[in-house]
């Protein structure tokens, strides 16, 4: 039986590593964004696990800010991706090399 704090930290570390791996190896921009969401969730799991034994729930308050920032980030990222797709007709990261209009 693992200590619940250590188990939560392990889950958070797993989510963060999964996110980094997806960001590095996947070729599609939307898949990379899924990886970024996983990394943010890994950080959030850490915050919540530490706030589980804190009567002031400071970590949970920080986690709410993280969720709002993640939502804002993904909205802007998807708007930019739509523009890129309209211009280049692809979201393959290896073929997006030109900065020229």
Partner 1 sequence: MTEVWMYFFGLLILISGLTLIFTENLIYAAFLLALCLLSIAGFYVIYNGSFLAVIQILIYAGGILILIAFGIMLTKRSSEGKVIVGSHLLFFGFLVTLGIALLIYALVGSSPIGPQEILQTTGQIREIGIRFLTQYILAFELIAFLLLVVLVGASYLGKKSQHA
Which CB sits closer to partner 1, 53 or 100? 53
For residues 57 and 13, what is the distance between their CA atoms, to the nearest angstrom?
Answer: 21
Write the CB contacts of 90 (distance below 8 Å, at least 6 apart in sequence). 96
Tokens of 65: 């800010």
Tokens of 97: 């090399």
- 96 touching partner 1, by CB under 8 A: no
Residues within window 10-69 making contact with partner 1, judged by CB under 8 A: 10-11, 13-18, 20-22, 24-28, 30-31, 33-34, 37-38, 41, 44-45, 48-49, 51-57, 60-61, 63-65, 67-69
Is residue 89 helix, strand or coil? coil
Q: At what angle do helices 29-51 and 4-25 cross, to 10 degrees?
A: 170
Binding site for partner 1 (CB under 8 A): 1, 3-11, 13-18, 20-22, 24-28, 30-31, 33-34, 37-38, 41, 44-45, 48-49, 51-57, 60-61, 63-65, 67-72, 74-76, 78-83, 85-87, 89, 91, 94
């Amino acid at each position: 039986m693992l200590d619940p704090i250590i188990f939560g930290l392990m889950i958070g570390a797993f989510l963060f590593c999964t996110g980094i791996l997806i960001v590095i190896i996947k070729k599609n921009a939307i898949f990379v964004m899924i990886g970024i969401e996983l990394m943010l969730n890994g950080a959030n799991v850490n915050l919540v696990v530490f706030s589980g034994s804190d009567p002031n729930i400071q970590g949970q308050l920080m986690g709410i800010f993280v969720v709002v920032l993640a939502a804002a980030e993904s909205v802007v990222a998807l708007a930019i991706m739509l523009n890129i797709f309209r211009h280049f007709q692809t979201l393959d990261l290896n073929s997006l090399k030109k900065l020229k209009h």
